[in-house]
Structure 1
Amino acid sequence: MGDNFPEDDGPLPPNLRFLRILVTVLTGVMILGVLTIVLLLVIRLNDTQRPILVHPEVFAIPAGVGTVGYSVINGYTVIIGDDGIIRVFASDTRDLVDEVILGD
């Protein structure tokens, strides 16, 4: 029961030395990858520019008209009503800019 381990007997075989270096390099790459992902998440989540959420309820659409969809594009809010009319509002003043009637 001696303390004679195989690595004490001499140099490692070339295949084992290659695998040892490969595992060490891959471990380093994995650590750098995880650190990069964490860094990118921290940078992204601390971004000061947050999108301004605009809900169609704050715009003056006619009573009884439901909202099918809406989008915010270049300072304008586009609201598509269930009456077949697309309404374009200025996002900052909430004034109606244009109406487009959808054809059949």
Structure 2
Amino acid sequence: MSETPKSENASETLPEPANLRFLRLLVTVLTAVMIAGLLAILAMIVISYRSARAPLPEVITLPDGAEASAFTQGADWYAVVTEGNEILIFDRANGELRQTLRIESAE
């Protein structure tokens, strides 16, 4: 058996308690703030990712016989790893070869 009193008129509704109205408003506001915060964080990640990328060089001129196998870059340089186990480090400003590193096997 239910102890809730039955209303004879179905159109009668009890007024919503003030604390329940406050909680409903609070949950709605907090949900909106969380969504806005998440969107702001995502926007900041996208903006910082786009600005952090350095432009790729248009053309990379490798020494004769060198074949590239990997590429990486820094703020003012970029490097090409060749099939001949060398790392060629180029200056980003003028594209000139700065340094050549020979990779020796550990055998």
Residues 3/100 of structure 1: CA separation in 2 closer, same or farther (3 Å cut): same
Runs of at least 5 residues in structure 2 that lack an aligned partner in the other structure: 1-8
Taking every aligned residue pair, what percent have the same amino acid on both sides?
12
Residues 53/74 of structure 1: CA separation in 2 closer, same or farther (3 Å cut): closer
Number of equivalences? 96
Alignment partner of 1:51 out of 50, 53, 60: 53
- Residues 4-30 of structure 1: CA deviation (Å, up to 9, x unaligned): 1133xxx74xxxx45x54443222111
Q: Which amino acid aligns with 1:3?
A: S
Aligned-pair CA distance for 1:76 = 0.9
- Taking structure 2 as the reference length, the TM-score comes to 0.66
Q: Which amino acid aligns with 2:29?
A: G
Output the aligned Cα RMSD.
Answer: 3.1
Moved more, 20-29 or 42-51: 42-51
- Taking structure 1 as the reference length, the TM-score comes to 0.67
| Match in the other structure for 2:11 | 3
Once residues 76 and 2 of structure 1 are traced to their aligned partners in structure 2, the CA distance between those partners, rounded to angstroms, is 78
Once residues 93 and 81 of structure 1 are traced to their aligned partners in structure 2, the CA distance between those partners, rounded to angstroms, is 21
Matches within 5 A, 1:37-76: 37-42=38-43, 49=51, 51-55=53-57, 58-76=59-77
